[in-house]
Structure 1
Amino acid sequence: CLPFICSVSELLEKHGLQKPVSFVKDTKDNAEEARKLMIRLTRHTGRKLVFKEGLEIKGEMTIFTESLLCSSSIDNIHLAGQMMHCSIWSVDQPVSSKGKPQYKVSYGRSIELVLAASREYFNSSTSLTDSCMDLARCCLQLIVDCPNAIQEELDLIRALGYLEEFGVKILPLQVRLCSDRLGLVKDCLSQLPTNYKQSAKLLGLANLLRVAGKLL
């Protein structure tokens, strides 16, 4: 996420908070430092805010939020959640702090950022127990109303657990890219002669992989 780190450094410098790229990189896992920087940035922009700057500031908030989501830090991911509209119901609710405008990333854009970050973590994981998988799950759980795109990613993570239980050894990225996911269910059946008895679990796996209809 080096491009995002550079973007954050440029954003801070633009608003008079000069921090070198090395500082942003070294402190990206420090949630408290990120919170302090965000408070300073919000106060600084708030003092000079006019209507025509609204879209620009929203764009900068998006960049900052994206960098937090991609920081490989659970604390920073949670902090990013405070800067986003995390459910469709929150979109039209006014957000203010001491009577001053305070921007959050829109619901639709928040979903895009969360999906991009979670997929990057998922794809780089070597297994279900990889620490990156925890980061992927953490990102997805920020969107509290869980629309279909988010649910599909969560189900894909759950499917890895089923595959592991059946003894199918496969990388998470291979599962995502697999064009024949029904074949993965068949692989589970072939691991042991008695696996056919676990029909409920096999059907559950098929549901998670979105291929249950092909079993009928």
Structure 2
Amino acid sequence: MSKRKKNANRRVHARVCHTGPVEVTKNLFCGSEKEALVMAVAPIQVDMLVPLNDLDAKVWDLGFRGEILYCPIRDFGTLPDDVLESFITRILDRLSSNKKVGLFCVGGHGRTGYIASIVLGRLGYQDPIGFLREHYCKEAVESNEQVQHIADVLGRPELAEKYKRTYGGGNGFMAYRHFGFDREYFSWFSARETAEAHICDECTYFGSCGCQIYADYFVREYDPACTDFIEKD
């Protein structure tokens, strides 16, 4: 099997860092893709599911017959302002009508935290990112791009000053120590071709003790290369 094929077949696995779904404010639930199926049935049984990546078709077998508001967002990314405004308005409208809304993405962190922060901000929470990290999951909101957009949309520049950080090679992702994701999850989106073409074991920074740059992360020899990749001689 080729290295490219091997990388394409690898799955990204995350350790459990929160037990969900979690009702972060009245009728607004946050969780992962797997936890979406829990949201769909009693006792939670949301009125509207909001997939930010994919939704398992098993939801129909479970008896869910509510509304689905699908809004795809690239991993670690944000929405265009005009799309975001319409999207957030629809969520707030359901909440104001006392409807239950379930937000989720793959792990329930980046995209979920991004949208939930804006919804909470519009509901009057002054520090929605901090609130989510304290009451939902410390990994909520993963990238500087997401943090900046939350601050811009809510008109609260102090959020960007408080939460924007730079890690490792300057990729700007809010990656935490021992987060448990494979190395591909920390790769810069625009460097996808590089990640597909090489693995960590081919990099000069990778040795018997692992990655010399990202020593705080769980990096394995067959993980896709990051933007700091330099091929061994």
TM-score where L is the length of structure 1? 0.34
Greater helix content:
1
Higher-RCO chain (CA-CA 8 Å, sequence separation at least 6): 2
TM-score where L is the length of structure 2? 0.32
